[in-house]
Amino acid sequence: MTSDLYREQLLDHYHNPNNYGVLEGADVDVEWDNPTCGDKIHLTAKLDAEGRVAEVMFEGHGCVVSMASSSMFTERVIGKTPEEVAAMSLDDIQEMLGGIRLSMGRVRCALLPLNALKRGMDAS
Amino acid sequence: MTSDLYREQLLDHYHNPNNYGVLEGADVDVEWDNPTCGDKIHLTAKLDAEGRVAEVMFEGHGCVVSMASSSMFTERVIGKTPEEVAAMSLDDIQEMLGGIRLSMGRVRCALLPLNALKRGMDAS
Amino acid sequence: MALDVQAIRQDFPIFQREVHGKRLVFLDSAASSQKPQAVIDAMTRIYTHSYANVHRGLYTLADEATTAYEDARGKLARFINAADTAEVILLRNATEGLNLVAYSWGEQNVGAGDRIIITEMEHHANLVPWQQLAQRQGAELAYIPVTEAGELDLDVLPGLLADGRTKVVACSLMSNVVGTLPPVTRVAEMAHAAGAIVVMDGAQAVPHQPVDVQTLGADFMAFSGHKMCGPGIGVLWGRRELLEAMPPFLYGGDMIRTVKKTYAQWNDLPHKFEAGTPPIAEVVGLGAAADYLSALGMDAIHAHEREMTAYALERLAEVDGLHVIGPGADRRGGVAAFWMEAAHPHDIASIVDAEGVCIRAGHHCAQPLHECFNLPATARASFYIYNDEADVDALIAALHKVNRLLQR
Amino acid sequence: MALDVQAIRQDFPIFQREVHGKRLVFLDSAASSQKPQAVIDAMTRIYTHSYANVHRGLYTLADEATTAYEDARGKLARFINAADTAEVILLRNATEGLNLVAYSWGEQNVGAGDRIIITEMEHHANLVPWQQLAQRQGAELAYIPVTEAGELDLDVLPGLLADGRTKVVACSLMSNVVGTLPPVTRVAEMAHAAGAIVVMDGAQAVPHQPVDVQTLGADFMAFSGHKMCGPGIGVLWGRRELLEAMPPFLYGGDMIRTVKKTYAQWNDLPHKFEAGTPPIAEVVGLGAAADYLSALGMDAIHAHEREMTAYALERLAEVDGLHVIGPGADRRGGVAAFWMEAAHPHDIASIVDAEGVCIRAGHHCAQPLHECFNLPATARASFYIYNDEADVDALIAALHKVNRLLQR
Ligand SMILES: Cc1ncc(COP(=O)(O)O)c(C=O)c1O
Ligand SMILES: Cc1ncc(COP(=O)(O)O)c(C=O)c1O
């Protein structure tokens, strides 16, 4: 389990995250954190005419799981409707991370970008 | 232990208590109970000129332990000063009852007359 | 499927001991039940294999302990058919659960001039918290009376509910003294129609019969692990909407989301109500107890106890000068409280103990109920999965001995 | 007498297991300690031999259980040198003990305009109850600051105490993060001179060093059984006069003397504060834990942990980019919290877990303290009787691996 978490693919995302930064003129702009461990994310997204996710960027700091999850998430959600985002679950995130089973202590880390986007889309 | 409690001597006191009744013109007149089990005693006593216990009677209802203890107690305390009564302890009562060791659930029953008299002498 | 009591007794190591050289006849499960080996083993296994503090650890041991702890919560949720595992709060005992509701929900929702309704047959755990809440808030405490037969007299309830001032009705699912099984679902319907919530004390019911919180009509229900083959812990179930609207009760670790120097934000359910380190192995043990009882079948357990109770009431009637209080066997759970003309309850308990028979004597934490019967105390025998007719026979023989010793 | 760690480890069955094929290196005893066989056996023995509900039973089993339960209370009283066994209240955890004081003593004695003083290094259990009490009562909550070195800055205390408005000072005997051992006796003297009472959080001290409540200067002290080789229960000690003057906290069975429909009278100490069925076997287990620790000797335990801590701080300094927070080894108990430039605390804990090393990551229920250091979270290693230098070596090797994986 532990070794799964620190295998090459996740470490690559952690050290060289995709879509790192802040979108100008974003439709969704949300900050979200896990106070238990201090993981923090600032997530911005643009939606297309039908409300689908068109572009996402994130900034933040946290553990390998939360940062790699955020990096991969910015690609995974492209094209999804708000309903599809709302329907995404831990299972989807675990599959996205390469089919790992997260320990209970790591679930919140992995869910950081999803929870942030759900919250941001609710508010927008 | 149980058999000790129900041996002839205690049962005799239970069935034929000594000094059962109420003293007229008593110096100490006190009612006392164990709400946990409903043991109840009405204890009356006369003191002599020096304040020693001269005569004691009791009335009440309760289990073999509380009633036999009360019956034996009315004789055991004769001649004691208030200080001597105040100094009496569970050990004295256990010895009075024939040297038995009471289980924790029975301690309050056995102490009923002593606690009543202590309280009554405090108040008088 | 009838219970195989001989096989069940093999599961409980304590039945290998004797008392005063006699076979152990344990008839005090209403106070606390014995524990099967499976429960003891589940706890030992945590301590010998997977112990660590829960919820905050990222290492394997902590993950195993947390998983075992939360799995047990899930088992308990299924045991009472809770719609949502987060509605199951793990506490010290049933008493703490009822206090939690009286403090947290009560102080927020019961004010001066409001009414709290309880019954005369409540255990002190479902009585004193409401009595003290009423005093603190200046509310009225009203009692549903108990009839001579030991049943609730529901005739007064419509009148009490009519003015809409009643905020809560608290009622036991089964009396721990007279064994009465009140018509709680009807009580709940009436209470809800009048805008009150319903708090049920399941301490004597959950261990002995199927309980489904989704059809029961309760808003809260508390019960005890130690009365259902588990260790000394308790459970509070409550409806999510109510639990979410309530302030926390105890404050500390695990129940917070964020703590700043000047304020704090609360964690999600169920953690909001579980401050500090919980009894981890004990919760796992209670999960194992739920498994054990479920495997026997709660319906089978209930049927077995009804049979035992009917047999016991029949045989108790043979004992000279003995009077059982409460309703007939068809209307009660597996307890029989009684008094004897010739003997104080203390003496009954002590004398039958010499024969290896364990029964309780006292007011059984139900003084107001005893006052209804004008008795300060009773003796009480109660039945569970490991009791059979031979246990009742041993009790009856011992009670005859009580009469021989003390009748005159 | 130095501890024989190899022999001690034999007493703890969990050390027979491996984690990820590696030797188990358990460095999280500050969260909860492992349990020796003697403690597990003491609990099993109750369940297999002498189990019954306590205090209210007259039969042999109940007497044996009650005697074992009350004997354990006596052991705990002696362990902290309480003058009076009735001053030892057995609760769910340390958190419940601190809440009990904040509710029962606090609501009676702290009013609008009064002041409560705590410190910035408190665990949430000794912080949130006071913060919420202050909010409920309209009182002021003041903090003794923590310096960069992780010590209390007592300079502010005379000023805070000067106006006589302070009713209570609450302080930990040892920080669970920085390990600091504050000068509590001096704090207590100052507080008492100003007319305040002193509540001490002994959760991290009582398991690790001799604690004598008669010389400590505390009016109340709470601690946890599960951090001192016992099961998941807690203890509150308080001075008799204060406990007697306080109203009960939880209401129900055992804590009453009489219950009438309209009022209730309370039982004597300690029962007044122990409502409902207690965790019987667990209390007996904690008594066995006190025996186990006493046999090792609390002075020897303390000395062992000082050595371990000094060695650990020395070796931690070798790890590139690692920073320990808190004072030097001579001024702290057996915990070391740290952060690493290259790794988030979560990742540190996960990566060292793969090497069999158990450490904790997070805010350790001390968010305000972490704010002092401007860190949201740290990793923490803590030491107990079963740890030795080889455990520290394993930690250091694993931390080098963290750097190898995550440094770039
Ligand atoms: C300093 C301190 N106080 C209080 C507590 C709370 O203890 P418990 O979780 O047993 O209530 C802890 C441990 O978590 C602690 O380290
Ligand atoms: C009906 C009823 N309610 C509540 C309780 C209290 O349970 P506990 O002591 O586990 O809190 C009991 C048992 O003592 C009971 O019989």
CB contact under 8 A, C32 and D124: no
Judged by 3 or more CB pairs under 8 A, whether B touches D is yes
Smallest CA–CA distance from D62 into chain B, residue: B105
Cα dihedral angle (D177, D364, D37, C90), rounded to 10 degrees? 150
Closest ligand to residue C28's CA: 2
| pLDDT exceeds cutoff 60 at A2 | no
Distance CA D384, CA D364 (A): 18
Report all structural domains of chain C as residue ranges with CATH numbers, in order of start. Answer: 5-30+297-406 (3.90.1150.10), 41-294 (3.40.640.10)
Q: Could you list the residue range(s) of the whole structural domain that residue A54 is in?
A: 2-123
C317 three-state secondary structure? coil
Cis bond upstream, residue D13 (ω within 30):
no
CB contact under 8 A, B63 and C406: no
Within 10 Å of residue C66's Cβ, how many Cβ atoms? 21
Tell me which of C312 and B104 has the higher pLDDT.
C312
Distance CA C389, CA C177 (A): 21
Within 10 Å of residue C288's Cβ, how many Cβ atoms? 25
B37 vs C contacts (CB less than 8 Å) = 344-346, 361-363, 376-377
Best CA proximity match to C99, nearest among C75, C139, C131: C131
Average pLDDT, integer, range B67-91 = 96
Q: Is the CB of C34 under 6 A from ligand 2?
A: no
The side-by-side arrangement of strands in the sheet containing C378-382 is: C322-325, C335-340, C378-382, C360-362
So what's the pLDDT on residue A3? 57
Compute, in angstroms, the gap from residue C172 CA to the centroid of ligand 2.
10
So what's the pLDDT on residue A37? 80
Residue D33's contacts (CB-CB under 8 Å, 6 or more residues apart) are: D207, D226, D227, D228, D229, D384
Mean pLDDT rounded to a whole number for chain C? 97
Query: What is the H or E stretch that residue A90 is in?
Result: helix A90-96
Strand partners, D222: D201, D236
Distance CA D182, CA A81 (A): 56
Distance CA A40, CA A17 (A): 15
Residue-wise pLDDT tens digits, A3-31: 578 888 899 999 999 999 999 999 999 99
Distance CA A117, CA D266 (A): 55
Strands (E), C24-130: 25-26, 88-91, 115-119
| pLDDT exceeds cutoff 80 at C258 | yes
Q: Using the structure block, give the residue that is written with the tokens 């590139």.
A: D320
So what's the pLDDT on residue C300? 98
Whole-model pTM: value is: 0.96
**CA distances (Å), origin C207, targets C210, C227, C386, D18:** 8, 6, 13, 38
Domain count within chain A: 1
The side-by-side arrangement of strands in the sheet containing B39-47 is: B28-34, B39-47, B53-61
Distance CA A27, CA D286 (A): 58
Phi, psi (5° rounding) for residue D105?
-75, -40
Residue A76 sits at the chain C interface (C-beta within 8 Å): no
- pLDDT bin (cut points 50, 70, 90) of residue A124 is confident
Average pLDDT, integer, range C337-352 = 96
Distance CA C277, CA C272 (A): 13
Residue C173's contacts (CB-CB under 8 Å, 6 or more residues apart) are: C181, C182, C184, C200, C201, C202, C204, C205, C206, C211, C221
- pLDDT bin (cut points 50, 70, 90) of residue B65 is very high
Q: Is the CB of D376 under 6 A from ligand 2?
A: no
CATH code, domain carrying B55: 3.90.1010.10
Average pLDDT, integer, range B52-62 = 96
CB C96 within 8 A of CB C273: no
Distance CA A66, CA A50 (A): 29
Residue-wise pLDDT tens digits, A36-92: 788 999 999 999 999 999 999 999 999 999 999 999 999 999 999 999 999 999 999
CB contact under 8 A, A35 and D406: no
Best CA proximity match to D224, nearest among D129, D98, D367: D98
Q: Is the CB of D203 under 6 A from ligand 1?
A: yes
Distance CA D9, CA C407 (A): 61
C94 vs D contacts (CB less than 8 Å) = 276
Share of chain C above pLDDT 90, in %: 98
Strand partners, C236: C89, C222
Catalytic residue among D171, D229, D358, D365: D365
Q: Is the CB of C33 under 6 A from ligand 2?
A: no
Distance CA C44, CA A113 (A): 40
Please, which chains are in contact with D (at least 3 CB pairs closer than 8 A)? A, B, C
**Which of D90, D271, D277, D280, when mutated, tests ligand 2's pocket best, judged by the most ligand atoms within 8 Å of its CB?**
D277
**Token pair recorded at residue C46:** 């945590």
Interface test with B, best of D63, D67, D259 (most B CBs within 10 A): D63
- pLDDT bin (cut points 50, 70, 90) of residue A1 is very low
Residue-wise pLDDT tens digits, C162-218: 999 999 999 999 999 999 999 999 999 999 999 999 999 999 999 999 999 999 999
CB D286 within 8 A of CB D72: yes
Distance CA C349, CA A85 (A): 66
D362 vs A contacts (CB less than 8 Å) = 36-37
CB C119 within 8 A of CB D261: no
- For chain D, residues with pLDDT lower than 70 are 1
Q: Is the CB of D251 under 6 A from ligand 2?
A: no
User: Is D365 a catalytic site residue?
Assistant: yes
| pLDDT exceeds cutoff 60 at B1 | no
Residue-wise pLDDT tens digits, C350-408: 999 999 999 999 999 999 999 999 999 999 999 999 999 999 999 999 999 999 999 98
So what's the pLDDT on residue B3? 57
Shortest CB distance from C354 goes to which of B3, B11, B39? B3
